[in-house]
């Protein structure tokens, strides 16, 4: 048995100590079950078994343990070995029961070891491209056979315009590797932008060597993609390196993506120039960027407007994703019309302001006039009233004085004559 375990270690790469330790645990569990059948009167909770296998001779030794529960310092209940006694392992147990248990444990350890090795192989490959064969298609996912393991291609990671046929070879991008009950579960994608980037790395040696660098990628799976590249050496054209002689390199990527159109544009540290490059194949006359609002105004010739926007705005949308700027595209005619409209609106605003100012002045003048008129009227009324009062007072005084003057002599004469008559 020891020789067989050593051979498994060499062939499968499983550590000898791992298999041996698993065998010891399995033999202890099997002996406990067999002992319980032989001694049904014993309490199972207080019975423990410990087994060891000699790594040289392969001899099996077993100890029966007496267990007891007690509380530790933290108040938790733990199981403690009170005593243990070595027992003789009979030939009955070593025969059928021991062989069957050893077989099951070895097979299980082999499966666990293979799963662990497969997981470790793919765990560090997230972000890589793998080639698989389409095995099974369901409504919500597709399975790809990668050789040692199957990869899951969910419906959300598929390209709607791509039909997958059973048995065809397919490249996919690894997005996630996680442990599962039946081995590692690998999730791949056909719509991830990283797939486009990795395919260019496989086809363009300058990218793999680090001479050409992929700065940004924007993709609408199945329709169109844009990739911005730059060169670390002045003598190397990054766009030409990616396109290849007569377009051979980019054609290989297009074929792998089932005819998806790809625009390779030069990257620039100048934001305005980068936005203009991102709108290729349209020709841009001028680009103005506003860092505060993260927007870019692009002016194109009238005949280039539809090309710059693209079908259903696709070209402008991809350019915005590639650069990270919000792109506003206008033709020269639209810009001139807007400038005229702005100028006319400014003139109209000035005229309206002048009219408002004149109206305000007129209203102010009218208010002043009314105020002056009221003040003058009140002053005149007060003056007239005072004059009339003075005139009336003087007239009344004069009249009274005259009346008194005329009446006084007559009264005096009558007073003198009365005594005479008497």
In which band, very low, low, confident or very high, does the pLDDT at 65 lie, cut at 50, 70 and 90?
A: confident
Whether 14 and 44 share a structural domain: yes
Residues 150 and 54 in one domain: no
**Of 67, 95, 121, which closes a domain?**
121
Say which CATH number the domain at 178 has: 2.40.50.140
Q: Are 135 and 76 in a shared domain?
A: no
In this prediction the pTM is 0.62
Backbone φ and ψ for 228, nearest 5 degrees, come out as -105, 130
Provide the pLDDT for residue 40. 75
Domain match, 84 and 159 both: no
Q: How confident is the model at residue 320 (pLDDT cuts 50, 70, 90)?
A: very high
Of 74, 101, 121, the position where a domain reaches its end is 121
Residue 110 lies in a domain: yes
> Of the spans 93-97, 218-222, 403-407, which averages the highest pLDDT?
218-222
Closest to 152 measured CA to CA, from 194, 112, 184, 118 = 184
Say which range, 96-110, 220-234, 279-293, 361-375, has the weakest mean pLDDT: 361-375
Residues 53 and 153 in one domain: no
Question: At residue 407, does pLDDT exceed 90?
Answer: no
The domain boundary residue, chosen from 189, 214, 233: 189
Position 62 pLDDT exceeds 80: yes
Same domain, 72 and 153: no
Same domain, 114 and 33: yes
Instruction: Assign residue 113 the CATH number of its domain.
Output: 3.30.1480.10
* Domain presence at residue 75: yes
Average pLDDT for 156-170:
86
Say yes or no: 112 and 151 in one domain. no
CA pair distance 203, 244, nearest whole angstrom: 9
Q: Is the pLDDT of residue 34 over 70?
A: yes
Structural domain for 26, as ranges: 2-121
State whether the Cα torsion 192-197-200-205 is positive or negative: negative
Taking alpha carbons only, the member of 93, 95, 86 closest to residue 61 is: 86
In whole angstroms, give the CA distance from residue 270 to residue 200: 25
Task: Fill in the DSSP letter of residue 233.
Answer: S
Q: Are residues 150 and 81 in the same domain?
A: no
DSSP state for residue 324 in the 8-state scheme:
S
Decide if 168 contacts 137 (C-beta within 8 A). no
In-domain check, residue 90: yes
Task: Indicate whether 154 and 110 sit together in one domain.
Answer: no
Counting residues of the chain whose pLDDT is more than 70, the rounded percentage is 85
Domain count, the chain: 2
CA distance 334 to 328: 12
Top-confidence residue, 388 or 242: 242
Q: Does residue 57 fall inside a structural domain?
A: yes
In a domain, 335, yes or no: no
Distance CA 142, CA 135 (A): 8
Residue 107 within any structural domain of the chain: yes
Strands (E) across 88-159 are located at 129-137, 141-145, 150-154
Is 232 among the domain residues? no
For residue 169, pLDDT over 70 is answered with: yes
State whether 99 and 149 are in the same domain: no
Same domain, 160 and 112: no
pLDDT band at 422 (very low <50, low <70, confident <90, very high): very low
Q: Is 257 inside any structural domain? A: no
């Amino acid at each position: 048995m020891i020789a067989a375990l050593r051979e498994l270690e060499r062939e499968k790469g499983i550590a000898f100590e791992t298999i041996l330790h698993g065998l010891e645990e399995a033999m202890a569990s099997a002996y406990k079950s067999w002992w319980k059948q032989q001694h049904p009167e014993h309490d199972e909770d207080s019975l423990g078994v410990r087994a060891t296998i000699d790594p040289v001779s392969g001899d099996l030794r077993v100890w029966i343990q007496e267990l007891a529960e007690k509380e530790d310092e933290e108040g938790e209940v733990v199981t403690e070995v009170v005593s243990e006694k070595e027992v003789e392992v009979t030939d009955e147990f070593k025969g059928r029961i021991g062989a069957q248990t050893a077989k099951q444990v070895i097979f299980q350890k082999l499966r666990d070891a293979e799963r662990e090795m497969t997981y470790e192989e793919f765990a560090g490959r997230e972000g890589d491209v793998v080639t698989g064969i389409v095995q099974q298609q369901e409504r919500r996912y597709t399975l790809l056979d990668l050789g040692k393991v199957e990869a899951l291609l969910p419906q959300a990671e598929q390209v709607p315009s791509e039909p997958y046929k059973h048995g065809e070879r397919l490249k996919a991008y690894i997005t996630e590797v996680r442990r599962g009950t039946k081995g590692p579960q690998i999730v791949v994608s056909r719509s991830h932008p990283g797939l486009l980037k990795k395919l260019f790395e496989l086809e363009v040696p300058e990218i793999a060597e680090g001479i050409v660098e992929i700065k940004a990628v924007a993709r609408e799976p199945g329709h169109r993609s844009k990739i911005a590249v730059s060169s670390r050496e002045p003598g190397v054209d990054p766009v030409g390196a990616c396109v290849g002689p007569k377009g051979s390199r980019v054609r290989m990527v297009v074929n792998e993506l089932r005819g998806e159109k790809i625009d390779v544009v030069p990257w620039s540290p100048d934001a305005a120039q980068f936005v203009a490059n991102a709108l290729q194949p349209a020709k841009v006359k001028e680009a103005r960027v506003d860092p505060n609002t993260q927007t870019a105004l692009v002016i194109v010739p009238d005949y280039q407007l539809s090309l710059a926007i693209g079908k259903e705005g696709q070209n402008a949308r991809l350019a915005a994703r590639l650069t990270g700027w919000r792109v506003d595209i206008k033709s020269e005619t639209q810009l001139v019309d807007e400038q005229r409209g702005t100028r006319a609106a400014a003139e109209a605003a000035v005229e309206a302001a002048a009219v408002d100012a004149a109206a305000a002045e007129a209203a102010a003048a009218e208010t002043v006039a009314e105020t002056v008129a009221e003040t003058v009227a009140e002053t005149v009324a007060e003056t007239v009233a005072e004059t009339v009062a003075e005139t009336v007072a003087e007239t009344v005084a004069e009249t009274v004085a005259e009346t008194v003057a005329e009446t006084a002599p007559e009264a005096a004469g009558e007073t003198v004559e009365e005594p005479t008559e008497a």
